[in-house]
């Protein structure tokens, strides 16, 4: 069961198609785990349907129906079920597998910080960067703040951040007002999805040393 959910404003933007690919990936991944947010999304879509029915008809091109049906086939939000395959056992939710392109066990992991490894995901544009991040049990991500917004979804294990525990499926968003040092829980490696719209800003001596690797 997830305890940290997508903010309602962000879920609304997702429902209306206003989110760019990076944040939409983070929300969609959380929805793979969270029945509560999936139900809330369904209610938002129902409200949107009522609003659309109240609008006056307008002329549309002949391809609109086929494009709409194709998009519904791609998303299928109301048909998705929470609780995807277990990332701790080497598998990912389908929405992430499409962006990784290979199996989790075959991913190329690069240095991100001491004890922290990163595997980049493929996005369609340059506005955001998406990665899988692995942090060994009991280890921390170096203290940092943000130039933009950082979205995090826990895929397996968990971490402690500013007194809050985040476990499988939980969603976290941090903006430039947040300075933090997440620490993986002691019982297992933490695997997360991270989506950024700007590089993080490392703090302290260790942060300055690793800053060139984070650009």
**163-206 pLDDT tens trace:** 999 999 999 999 999 999 999 999 999 999 999 999 898 887 65
Please tell me the distance from the alpha carbon of residue 148 to that of residue 146, in angstroms, as a whole number.
5
Contact 16, 71 (CB under 8 A): no
Contact 87, 184 (CB under 8 A): no
Contact 108, 119 (CB under 8 A): yes
H or E element in which residue 173 lies:
strand 171-174
3-state secondary structure of 119: strand
Q: Is pLDDT at 46 greater than 90 in this prediction?
A: no
Q: Is pLDDT at 210 greater than 50 in this prediction?
A: no
Query: Which structural domain, as residue segments, surrounds residue 132?
Result: 1-215
pTM for this model (two decimals):
0.81
- Give the count of beta carbons closer than 10 Å to the beta carbon of residue 109: 13
Residues 183-193 as b or e (16 or more Cβ within 10 Å = b): bbbeebbbbbb
Contact 130, 124 (CB under 8 A): no
Mean residue pLDDT of the chain comes to: 84
Which CATH number goes with the domain that contains 132?
A: 2.60.120.10
Of 24, 2, 29, the closest CA to residue 14 belongs to 24
H helices of the chain, in order, are 8-15, 21-33, 35-54, 64-75, 94-100, 204-210
Q: Is pLDDT at 57 greater than 50 in this prediction?
A: yes
The reported pLDDT for the residue numbered 213 is 42
Q: How many domains does the chain have?
A: 1
Q: Which two tokens stand for residue 170?
A: 């939980």
119 forms bridges with which residues in the sheet?
132
Please tell me the distance from the alpha carbon of residue 78 to that of residue 89, in angstroms, as a whole number.
27
How does pLDDT run across 110-141, given as a tens digit for each residue?
Answer: 998 889 999 999 999 899 999 999 999 999 99
Contact 29, 77 (CB under 8 A): no
């Amino acid at each position: 069961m997830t305890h940290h959910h997508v903010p309602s404003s962000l879920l609304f933007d997702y429902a209306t198609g206003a989110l760019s690919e990076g944040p939409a990936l983070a929300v969609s991944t959380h929805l793979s785990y969270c029945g509560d947010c999936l139900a809330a999304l369904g209610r938002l879509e129902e409200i949107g349907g009522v609003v659309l029915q109240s609008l006056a008809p307008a002329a549309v091109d002949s391809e609109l129906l086929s494009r709409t049906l194709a998009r519904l086939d791609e998303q299928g939000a109301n048909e998705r079920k929470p609780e995807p395959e277990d990332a701790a056992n080497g598998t990912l939710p389908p929405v992430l597998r499409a962006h990784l392109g290979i199996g989790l066990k075959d991913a190329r992991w690069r240095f991100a910080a001491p004890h922290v490894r990163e595997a980049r995901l493929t996005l369609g544009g340059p506005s955001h960067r998406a990665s899988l991040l692995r942090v060994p049990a009991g280890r921390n991500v170096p203290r940092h703040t943000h130039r933009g917004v950082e979205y995090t979804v826990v895929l397996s294990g968990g971490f402690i951040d500013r007194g809050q525990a985040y476990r499988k499926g939980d969603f976290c968003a941090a903006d430039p007002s947040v300075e933090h040092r997440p620490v993986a829980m002691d019982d297992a490696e933490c695997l997360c999805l991270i989506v950024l719209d700007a590089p993080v800003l490392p703090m302290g001596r260790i942060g300055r040393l690793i800053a060139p690797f984070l650009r």
